[in-house]
Structure 1
Amino acid sequence: MTLYKIDEVASECNLTKRTIRYYEEIGLLSPQRSEGNTRLYTREDIERLKKIISARDVLGFSLQELHRYIEVVEMLTGQRERYRSITDLEERRRQLEEIDDTLGKQLDMMESKMRTIQSFKEEAEQLRQQVREGMERLGRQSVERAEAEH
């Protein structure tokens, strides 16, 4: 198994070492330690970090939401692995129901974030409409004033 130092991980993920250490401090990452106490990361750690970055950047998740999202992602990973190892049809069905429930939780998190984003968007659109109406009124007033002066 290849292990990576924090410099390599920071470069690959386009993060600072400080951010990576902070993510470790708050429990989002758990790297291995060498005998010299150097942080060592697996490819799995790097992929997890990339998911964290995507959830943070694309979905706009807070750190608390990131914790919950990563928990759900890990739950799904475990459930999918269990599903693959099950041969009993009834047990497979139960496992699929569990996966469906977990996916529902993940989708609920995303829907909630999207509703918040939609609300901000609607606010900005309303403000933009008011600004455009104000510009239109000013344009009409300018025309009226110019006509009155002639």
Structure 2
Amino acid sequence: MKLLFSLLALVGGMAIAFQAQINGGLGKKVGAIEGALISFLIGSLTLLLVVIFFGKGNLSAATTVPKWQLLGGVLGAVYVFIMVFTVPKIGVAPTLVAVIAGQLVIGAIIDHFGLLGGTQIPIDGRKIIAILLLFVSLFLFNKK
């Protein structure tokens, strides 16, 4: 089952790479902020249709969650804007290496301390080495 979820995440990563290039091109034509807005609007409409036809949850329960849990949309908008702005300047691969480095550093901290209600998974030497190697990769991708 772990392999299935890892493969699903791999497909998600592939989708993000395509999305980065597509949104970067959109941003060059309409502006970075405008491109991010268009991307989010189309994504929101897509999710609305998915909820209408397949949703089984309870949207009204969103009013009962802690307000900080609603920040995911804000963070998603920040991410999309940064991708639209950055990809045309440095390319998809260097941008994604930087994004992944940021995700792994913060992800390791969140796991280590069990932040935001997550399971506590201590960081160890292997994970630290992996993160350091990712930063070496980031350096190599951006070295001229």
Settle same-fold status: TM greater than 0.5: no
Give the TM-score of the pair, scaled to structure 2: 0.40
Report which of the two structures shows the higher radius of gyration computed on alpha carbons.
Answer: 1
* TM-score w.r.t. length of structure 1: 0.39
Instruction: Point out which structure has higher relative CO (alpha carbons under 8 A, 6+ apart).
Output: 2
Greater fraction strand: 1
